[in-house]
Amino acid sequence: EADIYQTPRYLVIGTGKKITLECSQTMGHDKMYWYQQDPGMELHLIHYSYGVNSTEKGDLSSESTVSRIRTEHFPLTLESARPSHTSQYLCASSTRDLAGNTIYFGEGSWLTVV
Amino acid sequence: AQTVTQSQPEMSVQEAETVTLSCTYDTSESNYYLFWYKQPPSRQMILVIRQEAYKQQNATENRFSVNFQKAAKSFSLKISDSQLGDTAMYFCAFVYNNNDMRFGAGTRLTVKP
């Protein structure tokens, strides 16, 4: 299995709370991604990064923010959680030259906002 | 725009039988890569098989093989001798140049004993 880790795996929080989902990889990959996936549904890219100090928004509009201060670390933050943010968040990483290479996924973080 | 379509939301197969999952894609690119990923219930998504568009030969990985029809923009996954552990969501994915990977909506496969 790939060396990419997400914490927490499961979280239930109240509306209006601030939450940070952590993601770390030990493969030295330049590119990192955050996908949002509702149960049994397709993946939507919400953020990605080409490397340190690089962050880009994905296809799906998201109220979350990300940072990339270190190569191995790509946290996602929700400043004020809402029930509509309830979903699974998947972190992933790849080499810079994605074509021909695979994306490695973390185990996911299940977020429930009540 | 590059799109990936999986037209079968759910499928089931008896253990030891063969099943084929469909995937079509739309692109104007000539050189690209296609993937099938497997996501077991509550577990990590993993790569099943990968196909390079410029290669005519269909990729195979043990019980998993693809039928890549470039002209038809079709990339189906065949699972032979299905096992209970094959029960999962299967996602078809596409990438070209150095752009981001595009995923289909997924097919939920259930292998029945």
pLDDT value of position B1: 67
Report the distance separating Cα A44 and Cα B95, nearest Å: 15
Q: For A22-61, what is each residue's pLDDT tens digit? A: 999 999 999 999 999 988 788 889 999 999 999 999 888 7
Chain B hits for A99, CB-CB cut-off 8 Å, are 32-33, 95-98
Residues of chain A with pLDDT > 70, as a percent, come to: 94
CA end-to-end distance (rounded Å), chain B: 41
A94 class by beta-carbon count within 10 Å (0-12 exposed, 13-18 middle, 19+ buried): buried
| pLDDT range class, residue B98, cuts 50, 70, 90 | low
Report the mean per-residue pLDDT for chain A.
91
Burial class (CB in 10 A: 0-12, 13-18, 19+), B3: exposed
Q: pLDDT tens for residues B46-88? A: 899 999 888 889 999 999 999 999 999 999 999 999 999 999 9
| pLDDT exceeds 80 at position A2 | no
Quick one: which of B98, B106, B95 has its CA closest to B27? Answer: B95
The pLDDT tens digits for B44-56 are 888 999 998 888 8
Nearest-CB residue to A99 (from B97, B105, B106): B97
B108 in A contact zone (CB under 8 Å): yes
Read off the pLDDT of residues A5-14 as tens digits, 9 standing for 90 and up.
999 999 999 9
The distance of Cα A19 from the centroid of its chain, to the nearest Å, equals 13
Q: Do A45 and B100 touch (CB under 8 A)?
A: yes
Per-residue confidence (pLDDT) for residue A98, from 0 to 100: 58
**From B44, B96, B99, residue closest to A1, measured CB to CB:** B44
User: Within an 8 Å CB–CB cutoff, is residue B84 touching chain A?
Assistant: no
What pLDDT, in 10s, does the model give residues B101-112? 888 999 999 999
What's the farthest any 2 CA atoms get from each other in chain A? 42
What was the pLDDT predicted at B55?
86
Contact predicate A58/A45, CB 8 Å: yes
